[in-house]
Amino acid sequence: MQKNQGEQLQMIKRIFSVVLICVLICASVFQSNADVLSDFQKKLDQIKSQISSNNKKIEKLNDDINWNKYKRDQIVKQLEEIGLKKEEVEERITYLDSVIESLDGAIALAEQEYYEQMELLKARLRVMYKRSTTVWEIEELLKSKSLNEFFIRVQVMKKIAEYDQMLLESIEKKRLEIESLKKQKQMEIEACIEQAKQYQEQIEGLNIDRSNIEMAIKRDTSSKQEYLDRQESLEKESYNVEQQLKNYQSNLTFGGKLIWPMPTNKNIASYYGNRLHPIYKVWKMHTGIDIGSKWNEAIVAAADGNVIYAGARGGYGNTIIIDHGDGITTLYAHINTRGILVKTDQPVKAGEVIAKAGMTGVATGPHLHFEVRKNGVPQNPLDYVKP
């Protein structure tokens, strides 16, 4: 009898050990599932952060490239304008050179005319100098047929002398005027040459600026291409991680147990099943349980899983739905405004605070409406968790 009891006790111990090992293994598996999901999500978040940072750098480079192209186009316009002005000045210099060449010819002619006229005057003066005025007048008197003709001859000779003098003065005046005009044109040429020099300096400076800008555009374009290549690589990596995450999520298994979703409050205000709706005053199926709460009381995930919905949902108000694998999902409704603390596709662990209680949607006061569904069909939450 005692022997049988001992054998039974040993058997119970073995069974208990096996069950304990299974529980520990399952707990380890579910813990590792949550950790793996978290690692996937962290990696995905890091990649998306890099993509966002990369995008900002590409946008910045685009802005820099466009700005430099604008500056380059403005420089090209300036070069065209200054180039035209320089051409006009150079054409003016060419024209003035031809004018000065003509003036040099005119000066040479005036000097030649002055020289020839001076020689004529000198010849007359030499004749008159060799003979005294009295002798010259007597000769002219003897040549004249009458006294009147004599006086005419004398007057003519004086007029010729006066004309020669006036002609010389006129030629000299004309030469001086041409010389003055030549100096003006030479000064104008010097001013034009200086202006052309300044234009050339501006052109050289602008060409240096354009060259520097072209180098900047080339450098930024090369950097942009590197970031674009990096972006393509990151997007491929992001896609691969997302696929791995989805594949892993599809293979998740539910541990069979949940924890109470509101650790600080065990008060069940309304149970699962048919009830008289407190607002509509009609009998309706209540697909979950209502846990009375205070404003902003913490709501936690009932098990490890992945958030598949986080946002407004009709009469449920602000709602979170978590997928726990094997077709099991939990729903948390009437969350306070700005009380949702997680986002879609985020992995969560059992007991992690995911929201703050409130009364958004159709509600008479602050509380948590908690549902458990299997393959989309509502289940009695108390079959999975006790307060």
What mean pLDDT is predicted for residues 320-325? 92
pLDDT for residue 103: 75
Q: 268 with 290: CB under 8 angstroms?
A: yes
Distance CA 165, CA 163 (A): 5
pLDDT for residue 23: 42
* Residue 285 exposed, middle or buried by CB count within 10 Å (0-12, 13-18, 19+): exposed
Is the pLDDT at 72 greater than 90, yes or no? yes
User: Which residues, in sequence order, are bridge partners of residue 289?
Assistant: 370
CATH 2.30.42 fits 70-225, yes or no: no
3-state secondary structure of 98: helix
Q: Which of 350, 383, 381 has the alpha carbon at shortest distance from 368?
A: 381
**E strand segments, 179-304:** 268-270, 273-276, 283-286, 289-292, 298-300
What mean pLDDT is predicted for residues 52-61? 91
Q: 342 with 330: CB under 8 angstroms?
A: no
User: Which residues, in sequence order, are bridge partners of residue 319?
Assistant: 311
Q: Which of 110, 113, 131, 133 has the alpha carbon at shortest distance from 121?
A: 113
Q: 278 with 364: CB under 8 angstroms?
A: yes
Q: 258 with 331: CB under 8 angstroms?
A: no
**How would you label 44-63 residue by residue, b for 16+ Cβ within 10 Å and e otherwise?**
beebeebbeebeebbeebee
The CATH architecture to which 268-383 belongs is: Distorted Sandwich (2.70)
Q: Which of 269, 246, 225 has the alpha carbon at shortest distance from 367?
A: 269
Q: Which of 76, 47, 34 has the alpha carbon at shortest distance from 233?
A: 47
Of 36-50, 317-331, 351-365, least confident by mean pLDDT is 36-50
At what angle are helices 2-130 and 147-250 packed, to 10 degrees?
180
Instruction: Give pTM, 2 decimals.
Output: 0.51
- Which tokens sit at 18? 């096996």
Question: 182-236: per-residue pLDDT in tens?
Answer: 788 888 888 888 988 998 999 999 999 999 999 999 999 999 899 889 888 888 8
Dmax over CA atoms of the chain, in Å, equals 200
Give the whole-number percent of the chain exceeding pLDDT 70: 77
Q: 10 with 18: CB under 8 angstroms?
A: no
Distance CA 231, CA 52 (A): 9
Q: How do the domains of the chain map onto residue ranges? A: 70-225, 268-383
pLDDT for residue 281: 67
pLDDT for residue 29: 42
**How would you label 355-376 residue by residue, b for 16+ Cβ within 10 Å and e otherwise?**
bbbbbbbbbeebbbbbbbbeee
Q: 294 with 224: CB under 8 angstroms?
A: no
Q: 266 with 387: CB under 8 angstroms?
A: yes
Distance CA 195, CA 191 (A): 6
Distance CA 205, CA 211 (A): 10
What mean pLDDT is predicted for residues 8-25? 48
Q: 354 with 332: CB under 8 angstroms?
A: yes
DSSP summary character for residue 358? B
Is the pLDDT at 311 greater than 80, yes or no? yes
Distance CA 340, CA 252 (A): 24
User: Which residues, in sequence order, are bridge partners of residue 329?
Assistant: 323, 373
pLDDT for residue 24: 40
Q: Which of 368, 370, 245, 240 has the alpha carbon at shortest distance from 306?
A: 245
pLDDT for residue 213: 94
Q: Which comes out higher in pLDDT, residue 344 or 6?
A: 344
User: Which residues, in sequence order, are bridge partners of residue 122?
Assistant: none
- Whole-number mean pLDDT of the chain? 81
Taken as a whole, the chain contains a residue count of 387
Residues 6+ away with beta carbon under 8 Å from 293 = 262, 265, 267, 357, 366, 367, 368
